[in-house]
Structure 1
Amino acid sequence: MSAIPSARNVVALLEHWSPKSMAMDGDPVGLMLGALEKKVKNVLVTLDVTEAVVAEAVEQDTDLIISHHPLLFMPLTEVDTSTPKGRVIQQCLQHDITVYAAHTNLDIAPGGVNDWLVDEMGIKDTKIVVPTKKDHLYKLVAFVPEEDTDQVRRALGDAGAGHIGDYSHCTFNSEGTGTFIPGDETDPHIGNRGELTYVAEKKIETVIPDSILAHVLDVLGRVHPYEEPAYDLYPLGLEGEFFGLGRIGTLASSTTLDAFASSLKEIFNVKGLRVVGDLGRNVQTIAVIGGDGSKYWQQALAAGADVLVTGDVKFHTAQDAEAAGLALVDPGHHIEGIMKQALADRLGKDAQASGYQMKITASAVDTEPFTFL
Structure 2
Amino acid sequence: MANTVWHTGFSLMLDLNKPDLNHPGIPNLWDMLYNHDRELAVRRIPVPQRGLQCGGVCRKAGVVAWMYLRQQANGRREAVHERREDEDRHTAPMSDEHKAYQERIVRAAEDGGFRAGNEVRTAIGPRKWIQTDTLVENGDGLRIGWEVQLSSASVAGPRSVRSRANKAMSHGITPAWHTDRSDYARRNDTQWTRSDNLPARVIAKTGVLRVVSGFRALDIWRCDSRALYLCPDGKHTRCQKMHATPKPRDIDFDGLVRKTAAGLVVPVEFRDGSSTHRFWVSDADRDRYYDILGGAPAGGVEESGRTRAGHASVDAPTCRPRVVLTSPGRVLDWRDSSTHWSSEMRPCRHCKGMTPLRNDFGVPAHKVCEENAAEAS
Q: Give the TM-score category using the shorter length.
A: under 0.3
Pick 1 or 2: higher relative contact order, CA cutoff 8 A, min separation 6.
1
Greater helix content: 1
So what's the TM-score if we normalise by structure 1?
0.25
So what's the TM-score if we normalise by structure 2?
0.25
